[in-house]
């Protein structure tokens, strides 16, 4: 199953007789919200999906962006025109975080064909792709989520993986080290986790690095053979981009959806700081 699509290939498919459903998932940690940018210009036919409202449950003990109720996810996807029998392409305009969250969630929910636009809106513009301001009104989709298409880690399983396998922390290195923490109440990382910021998965142009380069990066972090691999971040959003990068490298990984925001909500859970895994 392909996980990426180029801007030129998307343009060809969008102009064909069976175009994919396009989802605009612009989102940035701490804002601003993505809808105003969407309204100022988006890929023709794309429907805006609100990550906070549609692709996550209410924040709480399970983290800042816990998995959404399948019924809520299904309703949002049907409003956007998503059906199981029609391919979906997702994009954003940043580091692939929002798009990867949608890609991962739809696969987790059982959709058979979801791809991320490599390079996002920037790549679309660079190839001369047009933008539109009008909001489409797609026909209601038929997608019914069937959770379990991808595995997930609970907090205790993430801790065990940090001891017995490889657990990657996808946040910026300074957050991993505990030097800064702009969002969550506790700074640091899960003991035993390895720092692997998502920025290392992309080229300077914002596209994913070639599969061989990604494989080399992760191998240097200890990802080898059939050893289990898990990924977390602050709230399960940017970690989805790392799971996608690992898949491109031929190294399947499991997401810890609650991530650091769930981990540090329990004062009984240990916290490591500094550059060493701990």
Cα→Cα distances 239→152, 243, 260, Å: 12, 6, 11
Q: What pLDDT, on the 0 to 100 scale, is given for residue 68? A: 97
What phi, psi does 177 have (nearest 5°)? -70, -15
Bridge partners for 189 per DSSP: 272
- Is the domain of 116 the same as that of 176? no
Is residue 140 included in any domain, yes or no? Answer: no
Cα→Cα distances 186→58, 60, 133, 224, Å: 20, 15, 41, 31
Is residue 132 included in any domain, yes or no? Answer: no
Domain final residue, candidates 73, 105, 126: 126
Distance in angstroms (rounded) separating the CA atoms of residues 119 and 227: 30
Kindly list the averaged pLDDT for each block of 10 residues, start to end, along the chain of length 278: 93 94 94 92 98 96 96 98 97 95 98 98 96 95 97 98 96 98 96 98 96 97 89 98 97 97 97 96
Residue 264 annotated to the active site: no
Is residue 276 included in any domain, yes or no? Answer: no
Number of domains comprising the chain: 2
- Is the domain of 181 the same as that of 106? no
* Domain at 80, CATH number: 3.40.250.10
Catalytic residue chosen out of the listed positions 77, 158, 223, 233: 233
Distance in angstroms (rounded) separating the CA atoms of residues 234 and 259: 6
Read off the pTM: 0.97
Q: What pLDDT, on the 0 to 100 scale, is given for residue 1? A: 64
Full residue range of the structural domain in which residue 31 is found: 4-126
- Is the domain of 169 the same as that of 82? no
Domain final residue, candidates 110, 126, 142: 126
- Is the domain of 11 the same as that of 93? yes
Nearest 5°: the CA angle 12, 14, 15 is 65
Is residue 273 included in any domain, yes or no? Answer: no
Tell me the DSSP string of 39-62: HH-B-TT-EE--HHHHSS---BTT
Is residue 137 included in any domain, yes or no? Answer: no
Q: What pLDDT, on the 0 to 100 scale, is given for residue 38? A: 97
Is residue 278 included in any domain, yes or no? Answer: no
- Is the domain of 168 the same as that of 103? no
Is residue 138 included in any domain, yes or no? Answer: no
Handedness of CA 200, 203, 208, 213 (dihedral sign): negative
- Is the domain of 23 the same as that of 95? yes
Is residue 133 included in any domain, yes or no? Answer: no
- Is the domain of 159 the same as that of 246? yes
- Is the domain of 258 the same as that of 161? yes
């Amino acid at each position: 199953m392909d996980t990426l699509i180029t801007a030129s290939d998307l343009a060809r498919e969008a102009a064909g007789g069976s175009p994919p459903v396009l989802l605009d998932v612009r989102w940035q940690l701490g804002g601003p919200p993505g809808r105003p940018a969407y309204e100022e210009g988006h890929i023709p036919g794309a429907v805006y999906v609100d990550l906070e409202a549609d692709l996550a449950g209410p924040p709480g003990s399970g983290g800042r962006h816990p998995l959404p109720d399948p019924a809520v996810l299904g309703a949002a996807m049907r409003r956007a025109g998503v059906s199981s029998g029609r391919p979906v392409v997702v994009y954003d305009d940043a580091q692939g975080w929002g798009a990867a969250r949608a890609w991962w969630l739809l696969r987790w929910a059982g959709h058979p064909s979801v791809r991320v636009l490599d390079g996002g809106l920037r790549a679309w513009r660079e190839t001369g792709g047009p933008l539109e301001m009008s909001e489409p009104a797609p026909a209601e989709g038929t997608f019914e989520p069937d959770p379990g298409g991808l595995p997930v880690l609970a907090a205790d399983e993430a801790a065990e993986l940090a001891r017995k396998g490889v657990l990657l922390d996808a946040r910026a290195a300074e957050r991993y080290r505990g030097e800064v923490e702009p969002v969550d109440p506790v700074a640091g990382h899960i003991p035993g986790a390895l720092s692997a910021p998502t920025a290392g998965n992309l080229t300077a142009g914002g596209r994913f690095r070639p599969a061989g380069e990604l494989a080399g990066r992760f191998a240097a972090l200890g990802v080898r053979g059939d050893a289990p691999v898990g990924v977390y971040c602050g709230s399960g959003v940017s970690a989805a981009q790392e799971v996608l990068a690992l898949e491109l490298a031929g190294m399947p990984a499991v997401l810890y959806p609650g991530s650091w925001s769930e981990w540090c909500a329990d004062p009984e859970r240990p916290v490591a700081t500094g550059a060493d895994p701990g």
